[in-house]
Amino acid sequence: MPNQPEANNWPRWFDPRSRSLGTFGFILNRVTALGLTLYLLMHLVALGQLAKGADAYDGFIALVKNPLFKLGELLVIAAGVIHGLNGIRIALNSFGIGVRRQRSTFIALMAVSVLVIAFFAYKMFSEG
């Protein structure tokens, strides 16, 4: 990869080697952003089944009840929680609030994310 800035360097966005915690925040935010956008479009297309009537939609729901889809759904929730909480941190920082505590804020918010994700995972997989 070239040494000067170039669009081809984009894989480096996701390379955390010899970088600090802030880069993990950046990587998480970017990965979840792309994942959630993909989900949003898929979600809109999938909900189109509603327009086709009861049979189409209920058949679709039966399909997404299998564990693989549920895992995917959990990933979406995880991405949403991480992106949302991290986003609040970045928004506050951009108004000059809590910039010097961004590191500890990040750790605290990610700890909260883990708890929320664990809660949803438990709820989704225990209720069947």
Contact positions toward other proteins, by CB under 8 A? 3-7, 9-10, 12-13, 17-23, 25-26, 29-30, 33-34, 36-37, 40-41, 44, 47-48, 50-51, 53-54, 57-58, 61, 80, 84, 87-91, 93-96, 99-100, 102-103
Kindly tell me which of 93 and 121 has the beta carbon lying closer to other proteins.
Answer: 93
3-class DSSP assignment, residue 3? coil
Beta carbon of residue 114, minimum distance to other proteins (angstroms, whole number): 18
Rounded CA-CA distance 79/36 in Å is: 7
Q: For the purposes of burial, counting CB atoms within 10 Å of the CB of 30, is it exposed (0-12), middle (13-18) or buried (19 or more)? A: middle
Beta carbon of residue 49, minimum distance to other proteins (angstroms, whole number): 9
Q: Which two tokens stand for residue 15?
A: 């390379």
Beta carbon of residue 111, minimum distance to other proteins (angstroms, whole number): 18
Beta carbon of residue 109, minimum distance to other proteins (angstroms, whole number): 13
3-class DSSP assignment, residue 94? helix
Q: Which residues contact 83 (CB under 8 A, 6 or more apart)?
A: 28, 29, 32, 33, 36
Kindly tell me which of 62 and 68 has the beta carbon lying closer to other proteins.
Answer: 62
Kindly tell me which of 6 and 68 has the beta carbon lying closer to other proteins.
Answer: 6
Among residues 24, 15, 8, the alpha carbon closest in space to that of 102 is found at 24
Kindly tell me which of 24 and 114 has the beta carbon lying closer to other proteins.
Answer: 24
